[in-house]
Chain A
Amino acid sequence: MTSTQLPESLIATLPGRYYTDPGLFALEQATIFERMWFCAARGSDVPRPGSFRTVQVGAESVIVSRNRRGEIRAFLNVCRHRGARICSDGEGSVGRAFQCMYHAWTYDLDGKLVAAPNLTRMPDIDRTEYGLRAVHVREWLGYVWVSLADEPPSFEDTVLQEVVNRLGEVANLDHYEVDTLSVGRRIVYDVRANWKLIVENFMECYHCATIHPELTEVLPEFADGYAAQYYVNHGAAFGADVEGFTVDGSAGLDPIPTLADDQDRKYYAITIKPQVFVNMVPDHVIVHRMYPMAVDRTVVECDWLYLPSVVESGKDVSKSVELFHRVNQQDFEACERCQPAMSSRLYRDGGVLVPSEHHIGAFHEWLRAAIGE
């Protein structure tokens, strides 16, 4: 079956090989994840000078850290000398400098080469040129965004434009003051599925009534199959008898006081291509970051963010976390159900999208353009 023969209700998905071909994944790494703005870590993950996290961005390992003045810095996690990984741990703290374990090339927290055996006998080595290779950083929503491009794309025209496309204006997200919120819970999911299956899943709600019974209880309109993301600045309303965005519809935590009136009792969702999902409800914001690790494996890190006073007081956020944790588990199970079938002969030309999923077609067009097709 080819797309030219499809009935009007249906449009084609990407062919199966887009989800299984390692060469195509390598192309996505180079043209998407290593070129666009990539949400790498929460600023509070690296609280002090010398605190670091390492994250996979495209095919590269990237160190996210803070210099002595507390400013965010990010570097390729590669020694300039013989290429050893500088930081082998996922997180930690180095105190004053990054030191390679192999020959002790030593870099300060701004990446400058400050010491190495016999270095004083090699005065022609430029300490900056042979410093750790820095990558571009930007802080937004309390997260550290990196771009590995020589010339990063405009943050406003890419990341912020996604918010405008979905919410009409960035101000509608600013009301949640996400950068000031605290991490109440973080759960990391290791999903055996291609990253695009996860994006496509997040974008549609045709599956909601089937696999998300708890979510559909709280947001009854999801049973219709049209996701909040089908529209512009559409908040899905809580059910009449629902008190809060919790697994049983019981009351949530303290509401974020700066929200607009029409944001009360509503759920909003944004996909920030290529790897971020944001969900907003009155008392918390959920931020997913995907770290594509292989063509068939994606690590998803999910933060539940609350008012700092909620987190500091130790209030029980478990019913609130449990709702979207279940949604995540349900979604990722479905994505893992799809992944093995992507290599089926039946999916060689892909599957189909029903009308409530047609907006995923725009994602596919974006992807084809991004990888140069």
Chain B
Amino acid sequence: MTQPGTVRVCPLADLPRGEALRVDEVDPPIAVFHTDDGEVFAIDDTCTHQDASLSEGWLEGCAVECPLHASTFDLRTGEVDAPPAKVGVRAHRAEVVDGEIVVTLSTEPPRLPPGVLRGPVGR
């Protein structure tokens, strides 16, 4: 995957409401959410505090709580509410095109926690 770019994630029907999906074909991996209200969002999957997968976090409304230390990220902006994470994750543009979830990746530099390397070394 060349960045910036777009990612065809999966048919919307494959991601039930209230669930999330980690896409690790892109680097760093992203998390795609289908909210209870039917909206689709994409953010970087890795918490900025420690290497934890936000796709495994707790989805509530338009926010996801990190499963490890409970910092909560706004799915629309990537902003974080409270420590231990101090900076937000990148938010990507997610849309449904012909029944398929398509994510346009952010061009900002990712904000990864200490020790998480990009590329094959970190994977």
Chain A positions near chain B (C-beta within 8 angstroms): 96-97, 99, 104, 106, 114-121
Q: In the complex, are the beta carbons of B68 and A115 less than 8 A apart?
A: yes
Top 9 closest pairs, chain A to chain B, by CB: A115-B67, A104-B68, A115-B56, A118-B51, A120-B53, A106-B67, A117-B50, A114-B56, A96-B58
7 A-B pairs, CB-CB below 8 angstroms?
A: A114-B56, A116-B68, A119-B52, A120-B45, A120-B53, A121-B51, A121-B123
Q: In the complex, are the beta carbons of B52 and A117 less than 8 A apart?
A: yes
Looking at the assembled complex, report how far the CB atom of A254 sits from the nearest CB atom of chain B, in whole angstroms.
44
A166 to B67 CA separation, bound complex (whole angstroms): 51
Is residue B36 within 8 Å, beta carbon to beta carbon, of the partner chain?
Answer: no
- Residues of chain A contacted by B53 (CB below 8 angstroms): 115, 119-120
Is residue B86 within 8 Å, beta carbon to beta carbon, of the partner chain?
Answer: no
A120 to B, closest residue via Cβ: B53
A97 to B, closest residue via Cβ: B67
Is residue B110 within 8 Å, beta carbon to beta carbon, of the partner chain?
Answer: no
Partner of A115, one of B24, B29, B46, B52: B52
Looking at the assembled complex, report how far the CB atom of A337 sits from the nearest CB atom of chain B, in whole angstroms.
52
B67 to A, closest residue via Cβ: A115
A193 to B69 CA separation, bound complex (whole angstroms): 44
- Residues of chain A contacted by B68 (CB below 8 angstroms): 99, 104, 106, 115-117
A120 to B54 CA separation, bound complex (whole angstroms): 11
A116 to B50 CA separation, bound complex (whole angstroms): 10
A195 to B122 CA separation, bound complex (whole angstroms): 56
- Residues of chain B contacted by A115 (CB below 8 angstroms): 52-53, 56-57, 67-68
- Residues of chain A contacted by B46 (CB below 8 angstroms): 120
A273 to B76 CA separation, bound complex (whole angstroms): 58
- Residues of chain A contacted by B29 (CB below 8 angstroms): 120
Contact with A along B1-27 (1 / 0, CB 8 A): 000000000000000000000101000
A119 to B, closest residue via Cβ: B53
A121 to B116 CA separation, bound complex (whole angstroms): 10
A112 to B115 CA separation, bound complex (whole angstroms): 26
- Residues of chain A contacted by B45 (CB below 8 angstroms): 120
Q: In the complex, are the beta carbons of B51 and A104 less than 8 A apart?
A: no
> Are A120 and B22 CB-contacts (below 8 A) given A96-B58, A114-B67, A115-B56?
yes
Q: In the complex, are the beta carbons of B67 and A117 less than 8 A apart?
A: no
- Residues of chain A contacted by B67 (CB below 8 angstroms): 97, 106, 114-115
A118 to B68 CA separation, bound complex (whole angstroms): 11
A97 to B46 CA separation, bound complex (whole angstroms): 19
Looking at the assembled complex, report how far the CB atom of A186 sits from the nearest CB atom of chain B, in whole angstroms.
33
- Residues of chain A contacted by B57 (CB below 8 angstroms): 115
- Residues of chain A contacted by B122 (CB below 8 angstroms): 121
Partner of B24, one of A97, A99, A119, A120: A120
- Residues of chain B contacted by A116 (CB below 8 angstroms): 52, 68
Looking at the assembled complex, report how far the CB atom of B80 sits from the nearest CB atom of chain A, in whole angstroms.
17
A356 to B58 CA separation, bound complex (whole angstroms): 62
A258 to B64 CA separation, bound complex (whole angstroms): 50
Q: In the complex, are the beta carbons of B69 and A120 less than 8 A apart?
A: no
Q: In the complex, are the beta carbons of A117 and B56 less than 8 A apart?
A: no
A103 to B, closest residue via Cβ: B68
Within 8 A of A (CB), among B73-121: none
Looking at the assembled complex, report how far the CB atom of A221 sits from the nearest CB atom of chain B, in whole angstroms.
60
Looking at the assembled complex, report how far the CB atom of B85 sits from the nearest CB atom of chain A, in whole angstroms.
13
A114 to B67 CA separation, bound complex (whole angstroms): 8
Q: In the complex, are the beta carbons of B58 and A104 less than 8 A apart?
A: no
A117 to B53 CA separation, bound complex (whole angstroms): 8
